[in-house]
Chains A and B, each alone.
Chain A
Amino acid sequence: MRRGISIAAAVTVVALTASACGGSDDDSSSKPKDPKDVSGTITYWDTSDAATEAPTYKALVKQFEAKYPKIKVNFQSIPFTDVEQKFKSAAKSGKGAPDVVRTDVGLMAEYASLGYIAPLDGTAALKDTSDFAATPLNTAKYNGKTYGVPSVTDTLGLLYNKKLLKQAGIATPPATWDEFIADAKTIKQKTGAYGTYVNPDSYFLLPLLYSNGADMADPSAKKITISDAAAVKALTTAKQINDQASMKVDFANAYQNMQAAFKNGKVAMLIQGPWSVSDTLSGSAFKSDQANLGYAPVPAGAGGKAQAPTGGHNLAVYQGSGNLDASYLFTQFMTSTESQVAIAKGTGTLPTRQSAYTSEVTSDPKVAGFKAVLDKTARPRVALPQVGSLFTPLQQNYVKILQGDESVGKGLDATAKEFQKLLPGYSIG
Chain B
Amino acid sequence: MTTAASTGNTKKTARGDSSPRPARVSALRRSWDKYWYAWAMVTPVAVVITVLVLYPLGYGFYQSLTNANEANVATTIGAFHRPATYDFVGLDNYWHVLSGADGDFYPRLVWTVLWTVSCVVLQVGLGMALAVLLNREMRLRGFYRAMLILPWAVPSFIGVFAWRLMLNSQYGVFNEVITAFGLPAQNWLGTPLAQKVAVVMVNVWIGIPFNMVALLGGLQSIPKELYEAAEMDGASPWQRFVNVTLPGLKPVSNTVILLGCIWTFNMFNVIYLLLGNNTTGDTDILVTFAFHKAFNGISDYAGAATYGIIILALLLAFSTFYRRNTLKSEQA
Contacts and interface: CB of A to CB of B under 8 A. Distances in A.
Q: Which of B74, B79, B82 has most A Cβ within 10 Å?
A: B79
Interface stretch (A153-161, A168-176, A244-252, A268-276): A244-252
A343 interface: no
A400 interface: yes
Given A5-B62, A8-B59, A250-B168, A395 B76 contact: no
Contact of A116 (B62, B77, B280): B77
B79 A395 contact: no
A389 B62 CA distance: 24
Given A7-B58, A115-B82, A319-B78, A110 B297 contact: yes
B170 A252 contact: no
Contact of B62 (A8, A16, A256, A320): A8
Interface centre among B80, B195, B295, B299 (most CB of A within 10 A): B80
Interface string B168-183: 1111000000000000
Contact of B171 (A257, A387, A397): A257
B87 interface: no
A388 B298 contact: yes
A19 B278 CA distance: 38
Contact of B79 (A250, A257, A319, A400): A319
Nearest to B70: A114
B279 A250 contact: no
Contact of A249 (B70, B76, B171, B190): B190
Interface string A88-100: 1001101000000
A261 B169 CA distance: 13
A389 B295 CA distance: 9
A251 B189 contact: yes
Interface in B153-169: 164, 167-169
B70 A23 contact: no
B280 A321 contact: no
A219 to B, nearest CB: 15
Contacts of B74: 12, 16
Pairs of residues from A and B, 7 with the lowest C-beta to C-beta distance, nearest first: A389-B297, A252-B189, A388-B297, A4-B58, A115-B80, A396-B281, A320-B77
Contacts of A221: none
22 contacts: A1-B58, A4-B61, A5-B62, A7-B58, A20-B76, A85-B295, A94-B77, A115-B80, A248-B170, A248-B187, A251-B190, A251-B278, A252-B189, A252-B278, A254-B278, A261-B170, A318-B78, A320-B77, A385-B71, A392-B281, A395-B278, A403-B280
B168 A92 contact: no
Nearest to A253: B168
B296 interface: yes
Nearest to B55: A7
* Most A Cβ at <10 Å: residue of B75, B168, B275: B75
Nearest to A26: B79
B166 to A, nearest CB: 11
Contacts of B276: 251-253
Contacts of B256: none
Contact of B77 (A11, A19, A257): A19
A149 to B, nearest CB: 18
Nearest to B191: A403
B164 A405 contact: no
Given A4-B61, A389-B296, A319 B280 contact: no
A118 interface: yes
Interface string B297-319: 11100000000000000000000
Contacts, number: 143
Chain B facing A: main interface SS: loop
Interface string A224-238: 000000000000000
B190 A403 contact: yes
A24 B78 contact: yes
A86 to B, nearest CB: 10
Which of A4, A19, A250, A386 has the most chain B CB atoms closer than 10 A to its own CB?
A250
Interface of A is mostly: helix
B131 interface: no
B130 interface: no
B99 to A, nearest CB: 15
Contacts of B62: 1, 4-5, 8
Contacts of B192: 403, 405
Interface residues of B, number: 41
Contacts of B296: 388-389, 391-392
A402 B82 CA distance: 43
Given A389-B298, A392-B281, A397-B280, 18 more contacts: A1-B58, A92-B75, A114-B75, A115-B77, A200-B278, A250-B190, A251-B189, A252-B164, A252-B167, A253-B164, A253-B171, A257-B168, A385-B71, A385-B297, A388-B297, A388-B298, A395-B277, A405-B280
Contacts of B297: 110, 385-392, 422
Contacts of B61: 1, 4
A251 B189 CA distance: 6
A282 interface: no
A260 interface: yes
A415 B225 CA distance: 65
B251 to A, nearest CB: 36
Given A114-B71, A252-B189, A319 B278 contact: no
Interface in A315-353: 318-321, 324
Given A249-B190, A252-B190, A23 B277 contact: no
Nearest to A200: B278
A253 B189 contact: yes
Nearest to A24: B78
Interface string A1-15: 100110110011000
Most buried by A among B75, B76, B164: B76
Nearest to A84: B295
A419 B164 CA distance: 31
B314 to A, nearest CB: 19
B274 interface: yes
B292 interface: yes
B13 to A, nearest CB: 33
B278 A201 contact: yes
Contacts of B292: 392
Contacts of B274: 252
Nearest to A414: B103
A396 B195 CA distance: 14
Interface string B259-277: 0000000000000001111
Nearest to B299: A88
B277 A253 contact: no
Interface string B58-89: 11011000000011001111111010000000
Nearest to B165: A253
Nearest to B63: A8
